[in-house]
Amino acid sequence: MSAPTTDHAHTVSVLRTRTTPATAVRDALVIGRRNLLRNVRLPQLLVFATVQPVMFLVLFAYVFGGAIEGTLPPAAAGEYLNWLVPGLMIQVAAFGAGQTALGLAEDLQNGVIDRFRSLPMARSAVLAGRTGADLVRNAFVIGLMVVVGSALGFRYQTTLLRFLAAFALALLFAHSLSWVMAAVGLRVRTPEAVQSAAFIPVFPLVFASSVFLPTATMPDWLRVFADNQPLTVVTNAMRGLMLGPGALPPGQDLVTEVARSLAWVAVITAIAATGAIRAYRRIAA
């Protein structure tokens, strides 16, 4: 082994001994870049994550499309695909959020979080870098839904600006769910446990909603839940933005629905982020 050019110890340290907001941002970027590199270096992960929603898109469009097109509001322009794509963007966000839990649980199990915590870096960077990277990842996967949907015939019926607003809303919602899953991942702590804790509850939430089908034909008890849970509220607002106010359930107006969606996003993010930060602190107990 050859000697390094400098001594290990007793050198005047250029290293930080304090963290500031500026170093916190830099640290989060370093961690975020590392998390994104995982998706780039192991592309099979992204492929698996996108195959399922693309399959849903194709299957639902062609299997349900014919049966349901007649019942859709005129704003969908007679195409189930136009109705389905906004819903699937939210479905992808809901299932994709589990990746946040998985990533943190893996890092905990492999000792990577211990390594990070033994460094003089900002404590916030591990969570910010994780949810930040997952936001970028979500933008890619949700964007892919739009691209594949468009190839099959999806067209937004409003303005580009409203379409982009809907996309941004989907990202904000995905980000809020990432924080929920960050809290889950830090509590259950093993990738195996994440599989059930993070993915199973998502199924009833996605199906008991307006993501795939209008809620109007659901039995009353289920409809009350479905109409008021966040996935429906956000999906409806997305449809209002992308297809026009005529896509909203009777009696609703666009501004109110967008406002309700943002309120859900804010509440979920605030509660979940608090829970995640608390869980992260508790690792040290």
- Confirm or reject binding of residue 41 to other proteins (CB under 8 A): yes
* Alpha-helical regions (H) of the chain: 21-41, 43-63, 65-68, 80-96, 98-109, 112-117, 125-152, 160-188, 191-199, 202-207, 220-228, 230-243, 254-282
Q: How far is the CB of 201 from other proteins (least distance, A)?
A: 27
Quote the CA–CA distance of 121 and 219 in Å, as a whole number.
53
Q: Minimal CA–CA distance to 174: which of 143, 204, 213?
A: 143
Which region among 38-46, 63-71, 164-172, 217-225 touches other proteins (by CB under 8 A)?
Answer: 38-46
Let me know: does 267 contact 233? Beta carbons within 8 Å.
no
- Confirm or reject binding of residue 47 to other proteins (CB under 8 A): no
Q: Minimal CA–CA distance to 89: which of 133, 141, 130, 45?
A: 141
Q: How far is the CB of 114 from other proteins (least distance, A)?
A: 6
- Confirm or reject binding of residue 190 to other proteins (CB under 8 A): no
User: What x/- string results for residues 79 through 118 when contact with other proteins is judged by CB under 8 A?
Assistant: -------------------------------xxx-xxxxx
From candidates 24, 25, 36, 38, binder to other proteins by CB under 8 A: 38
From candidates 1, 47, 160, 161, binder to other proteins by CB under 8 A: 1
- Confirm or reject binding of residue 246 to other proteins (CB under 8 A): no
Q: With CB under 8 A, what is the number of residues at the site for other proteins?
A: 42
Write out the H or E segment, with its range, that includes residue 27.
helix 21-41
From candidates 16, 164, 192, 216, binder to other proteins by CB under 8 A: 16
Let me know: does 182 contact 103? Beta carbons within 8 Å.
no
User: What x/- string results for residues 120 through 139 when contact with other proteins is judged by CB under 8 A?
Assistant: xx---x--------------
Token digits of residue 183: 């809290």
Let me know: does 261 contact 237? Beta carbons within 8 Å.
yes
- Confirm or reject binding of residue 70 to other proteins (CB under 8 A): no
Quote the CA–CA distance of 270 and 228 in Å, as a whole number.
19
Token digits of residue 256: 């109110």
User: In the complex, which residues of this chain contact other proteins (CB under 8 A)?
Assistant: 1-11, 13-19, 23, 26-27, 30-31, 34, 37-38, 41-42, 110-112, 114-121, 125, 284-285
